[in-house]
Amino acid sequence: MFITVARTSPMANGNSLINYLKIYKAAIEDDWETAESIFKEENYDLYTYFSYDLETPLHIAVGTNTSHRFVQELVDWIMRLDEPQMLRICNSNGDIALHYAATVGNTQAAKLLINKDPEMAQITNDDGYTPLTLAAKYSQKEMLCYLLGVTKDVVGERGTSPYQGQFGADLLGFTILADFYDVALYLVKKYPDLVMEENNIYTDLVTALQVLAAKPYAFQSGCKLGFWERIICSWIPATEERAVESPDSRSSMLITAQNQINKASYGFNVLFWSVLQNLAPHIKQMHRNKVWYIQTKELVKLMCSTVINKGDKSLAWEVLGSTVSTGVKYGIHELVEECCRQYPLVIKYDVGGLNLFVAAIKERQEKVYNLVYQLSGHKVFTANKFDYMGTALHFAGELAPVHRLNTVTGAALQMQRELQWFKEVEKFIIPSIKGNLNHEWKTPKMVFTIEHRELHKEAQQWMKDTSSSATVVAALIVTIAFAAIFTVPGGNNEKGKPLFSNDAVFILFAISDAIALFSSSTSVMMLLAVLNSRFAEEDFLYSLPKRLALGLISLFISIAATMVTFSATLSLVLHDKVQWVAAPIILLASIPVTLFLLLQYPLLEELVRSTYGRGIFYRQNKLLLH
């Protein structure tokens, strides 16, 4: 139990304010000698509180997480006084010193206190939380793992156990919020009933599955990796081990998440990547994320199966349905797919009053929507359902949420993405209801035009600005390339033949100049075609992006070819006088080409992928959900 005693103010019983300040400062600075002298000479009352929160010197020292010697000596002093109850003195919120240790991650102090009083780990504060729960709440993993080994699954004085009911659900929820998915796996395996319990970590009561569903970055679908990041991530060995002490047996339980790698080279791989992670923080983060992906996948599978095996039909419907609803909002298709795989009926769960797939359309979560391709033919998509709100096509005609719209670069590509959504959903709508009116007496096409009016204007202006800027550069290159062929380096002989015509570098000059001329001319024509377009809505689907993509690609080729032409010219003119000139010229010439590629490549890649690629709508795996 925690101790509630008559507390004295700093200046009561002869405790002067000066002594109070000295002890307070000593507790912060780990100065035991000063505090000890006051305790001995002034007969200081250790029950004296130090603040309006009713903190004692032990609270203050433990809370610093640095005054370790002070804590050790103070605890020994208290035990010599034969007053161990002082270790359980609580502050105004019912927190004892161990709660402070758990909050700041002071594992050294926690071990000291629990060695003196093992039952201290079971004490709850006024919120009903044990130190174990606070360690999870404040993301103190080392402390959490330690306290898991010393906190028992017993009903305390408040009639609760830290591993049962809402308080157990809070523990699991805080663990997931802190990204300790290995510990969460341990808790679910040992206390499966927690999966069905609602926790109080948010304003509304939610289950652990819903907490996990609100963390998209913990899943692979929530992390957008570049080309090289995907390559590196595929090679990183995702190994993570943590020894968590069992509350009952105190035996060590390894929580392991590791990918399938060649066992013969396992040791070398781990060593190599460990060194690399220390040298490159970004790779360390990628390793951490990969471990998370494996752990959360296993955690979702385990929690879903637990709900189905332990809960009844109505409970499974509510828990998994609410999880799917949250998963659709955040676009976590792995979670939605696992819930639907284990409990297919949840596909029919209303997500904010909408069908699962219609909600995915409204939220513009294409990876969740793609699950429609994993339904059997007779179950395909209730898009043809019609009510006063209209059909699924009406929702596809609405403007996407801002946070989803901003995942696409540039207003023109955003307009293209919106058109792709509209065309995709239109494929599933039967002809007889395509033109149906909604409650505002509008057809889907009318909704699309009205909702996207401003985006259409922005896309038109963006396309014009981008094309105009690129056209200026391309026209300049046309002029330079055309003039260069008539002013060849070294000049001509009396017969009009170039003096360096037999030199291999001259051949390179001629070829690169021709490429620069032809590619820049192509770029100008494509970009002028964009500028002269009518900029209708439908043009942003294929026509305009194709022209812009060809124009930008041609422009890049012409810039690269112009740099090669320039380098070849200088090499021809100076190679007799300065032999080493070729290497630095090539190096310097590559700088603008590299800069252009780095700065414009993301836009160019997205433009080409969205226009010529397979698109964002496809079957993600062969698993049949319903």
Q: What residues contact residue 8 under an 8 Å CB cut-off, 6+ apart?
A: 15, 45, 47, 48, 49
| DSSP helix, strand, coil percent of the chain (3-state; round to 5) | 65, 5, 30
Residues forming a β-bridge with 240: 257
User: Looking at this protein, which amino acid is placed at residue 494?
Assistant: E
Which token pair is 371?
Answer: 């699950």
Residues of the chain with pLDDT under 50: 2-14, 241, 243, 245-265, 378-379
DSSP 8-state assignment for residue 254: E
DSSP 8-state assignment for residue 168: H
Looking at residue 243, its pLDDT comes to 43
Q: What residues contact residue 309 under an 8 Å CB cut-off, 6+ apart?
A: none
Looking at residue 7, its pLDDT comes to 44
Give the residue from 499, 595, 594, 516 showing the smallest Cα distance to 558.
Answer: 516
User: Looking at this protein, which amino acid is placed at residue 34?
Assistant: T
Looking at residue 313, its pLDDT comes to 87
Give the residue from 200, 210, 215, 374 showing the smallest Cα distance to 307.
Answer: 210
User: Looking at this protein, which amino acid is placed at residue 290?
Assistant: K
Which token pair is 240?
Answer: 């993570």
CA 122/CA 126 separation, integer angstroms: 13
> Rounded to the nearest 5°, which phi and psi values hold at 492?
-115, 160
Which token pair is 283?
Answer: 């790779």
Give the residue from 205, 129, 214, 135 showing the smallest Cα distance to 163.
Answer: 129
Distances (CA, A) of 153 to 131, 137, 602: 14, 19, 54
Instruction: Classify residue 462 by burial, with Cβ atoms within 10 Å: 0-12, 13-18, 19+.
Output: middle
Which token pair is 500?
Answer: 């360096």
CA 330/CA 443 separation, integer angstroms: 29
**3-class DSSP state for residue 35?**
helix
Instruction: Classify residue 586 by burial, with Cβ atoms within 10 Å: 0-12, 13-18, 19+.
Output: middle
**3-class DSSP state for residue 388?**
coil
Give the residue from 450, 425, 423, 394 showing the smallest Cα distance to 541.
Answer: 423
Q: Do 162 and 132 meet the contact criterion of CB atoms below 8 Å apart? A: yes
Please report the DSSP string for 533-545 in residue order: S---GGGGTTHHH
CA 144 to chain centre: 23
Give the residue from 584, 590, 581, 582 showing the smallest Cα distance to 562.
Answer: 590
Looking at residue 429, its pLDDT comes to 85
Sorted by where each starts, the structural domains of the chain and their CATH numbers stand as: 12-162 (1.25.40.20), 176-307 (no CATH), 463-612 (no CATH)
CA 294 to chain centre: 14
Looking at the chain, how many residues does it have?
Answer: 626
Looking at residue 277, its pLDDT comes to 64
Looking at residue 109, its pLDDT comes to 96
